[in-house]
Structure 1
């Protein structure tokens, strides 16, 4: 079997193994959420986005108490479809936005009373431009506020971010984010939407639907619409997670 096919099968297997042993919180597609993982609980999420190519990401996090969480992210696992005359998994490119990166994560949550809940965090690690022997700083630092309105289940959020080319590709480094979660059918389903401003890899409007299966599984699907003046493509995304 070709090496790239073995890698892809191993990646899928890793998702499935991890999904049988982890717990997750509710999140949006790419916009970090302020909700902090509970003490000594795990979070795992796997996501695939589809345009003229596919792009995957994996995220693990662990609640360490006092409204802190730490974790590990693997982003920008980019490849092409069989028959496209392109490699199934792209591991060498001069374009930072299609190169994998590995980041450590840290987030702190702060209650703001009637204003909601603030999350401040960073994803910092290494990415590369042409070969793994030339690493670059991959960073995504952010602050998001999750608003609460009395007993309403609708949860809007707003925030800002700073990023580097090794994480988000060429384009803007500073930007803002807005998001919305609207559960219905006794929280068995939820409408989800987010907008990440700018012209980098993550600058998209994503609208979708999340379905809760059982007590812990959640599957979310969405449509990805490029932000104005970005070079992103129309596409779709699917996200698998577990939650408490």
Structure 2
């Protein structure tokens, strides 16, 4: 039989491990929500991008500490969440205690233990629910703000891109004849989405029209023309270029630019 004193020495370690597991889960949830919201802004599904797991943890820190305003929002959200949890548990216990005394029967010790366990479980579920809700909305707000910053040219931190394609690419300008449109290919879908981008492939700082690299992942390049200013009614077109075939295959998302 294990010595009770020896067993009690491992309780702090067990609690520490439990806290670390919960913290890792909360950070991953926050980072996943951030990535999902950010790429959804550009009409990309995060589950199809095969992003590394560690990127979600980095995104969580971006949510909490990415900029001074994010730190302020994190502190306010933390304070509001704690206050809401304490108020909910207080009024919940007060309500249960009020009606508990009105019951026409009593519980034995075994039943009281079961009720105590269920009460503790309910309290923990309430805490988890409020914490996840706070993390979800905090990540969404920060991701939307960062997406808008990257979408607008003057505030974007994404790199300006110059992509050299083969002669068979369905989009792009020839160096010796930039006025000539690409020919000899087939298209499926909305032709207007493609036509709107013809003649807009080159950067022009007088417009301004600057192409930026959103993501490079799994052999695909995700490009988009940054907006000259924040305009919620505009949907940014995202071009997906396959590196394997030298840009011969092209996908256009969000064609109503």
TM-score range, shorter chain: under 0.3
**More helix, by proportion:** 2
Pick the structure with greater CA Rg.
Answer: 2
Q: TM-score, normalised by structure 2?
A: 0.22
Q: TM-score, normalised by structure 1?
A: 0.23
**More strand, by proportion:** 1
